[in-house]
């Protein structure tokens, strides 16, 4: 893999029976489903998955020089592999408490965007989450991650400790998925609920 090739983030719906499980079983089911998405991303990239390990902070460690990222929510999971540090995040676009807006971005950042406020909130939230996953810090450094510019409805630039990241969004079925794009071509893929058929480019 090199940065002239595409990368393949894969989104899978969570089966309805998994959504009804108790908390511990549900978390395990979501993790398993996200690993299924990662396996598909690897197959599409011609990569054999190695052992998936995390560091002491819970950040994924590369295998054979290949980086990976997972995200899981109640209705969908997503995953991707990449030859460079990578982050992906997914959220359902929904109303959220007003105080969260000040926590996720400052007034300068909010002045960059003029769109549905909840859509904008989750654009910013997932962009920062994807960035912080890529750098391996997680939300501990949320205050060090900023929206530098909004390019269009599907792209923006974040900045973390002086390093810029190009973020791409994909909107689907009331959700948003955001990924660190940088110089890669992003090919989004959605599988149907069976997980074995209906592969299609979003």
Taking only the tens place, the pLDDT of each residue in 135-192 is 999 899 999 999 999 999 999 999 999 999 999 999 999 999 999 999 999 999 998 7
Look at 56 and 46; give whichever has higher pLDDT: 46
Percent of the chain having pLDDT more than 70?
91
DSSP 161: T
pLDDT for res 201: 43
R_g over Cα of the chain: 16
Q: List the one residue out of 101, 100, 2 whose CA is nearest residue 46.
A: 2
pLDDT for res 121: 98
Mean pLDDT (the chain, rounded):
91
Q: Which helix (H) or strand (E) holds 87?
A: none
pLDDT category of residue 132 using cuts at 50, 70 and 90: very high
Q: Check pLDDT > 90 for residue 202.
A: no
Which range of 19-28, 41-50, 185-194 scores highest in mean pLDDT? It is: 41-50
Q: List the one residue out of 73, 74, 70, 48 whose CA is nearest residue 61.
A: 70
Q: Check pLDDT > 80 for residue 21.
A: no
pLDDT for res 167: 98
| Token pair 């391996």 in the structure block, residue | 136
Look at 116 and 160; give whichever has higher pLDDT: 160
Q: How far apart are CA 8 and CA 83, in angstroms?
A: 12
pLDDT category of residue 22 using cuts at 50, 70 and 90: low
Domains of the chain: 6-201 (3.90.470.20)
pLDDT category of residue 197 using cuts at 50, 70 and 90: very low
pLDDT for res 192: 74
Stretch 131-138: mean pLDDT, rounded? Answer: 94
Stretch 93-107: mean pLDDT, rounded? Answer: 95
């Amino acid at each position: 893999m090199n940065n002239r090739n595409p990368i393949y983030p894969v989104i899978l719906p969570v089966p309805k029976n998994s959504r009804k499980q108790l908390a511990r079983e549900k978390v395990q089911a979501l993790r398993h489903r996200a690993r299924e998405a990662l396996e598909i991303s690897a197959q599409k990239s011609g990569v054999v998955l190695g052992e998936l390990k995390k560091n002491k902070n819970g950040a994924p460690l590369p295998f054979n020089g290949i980086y990976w990222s997972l995200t899981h929510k109640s209705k969908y999971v997503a995953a991707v592999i990449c030859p460079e540090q990578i982050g992906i995040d997914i959220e359902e676009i929904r109303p959220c408490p007003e105080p969260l807006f000040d926590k996720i971005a400052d007034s300068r950042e909010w002045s960059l965007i003029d769109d549905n406020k909840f859509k904008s909130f989750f654009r910013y939230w997932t962009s920062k989450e994807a960035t912080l996953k890529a750098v391996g810090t997680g939300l501990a450094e949320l205050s060090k991650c900023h929206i530098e510019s909004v390019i269009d409805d599907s792209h923006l630039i974040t900045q973390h400790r002086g390093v810029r990241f190009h973020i791409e969004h994909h909107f689907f079925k009331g959700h948003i998925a955001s990924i660190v794009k940088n110089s890669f071509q992003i090919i989004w893929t959605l599988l149907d609920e069976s997980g074995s058929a209906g592969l299609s480019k979003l």
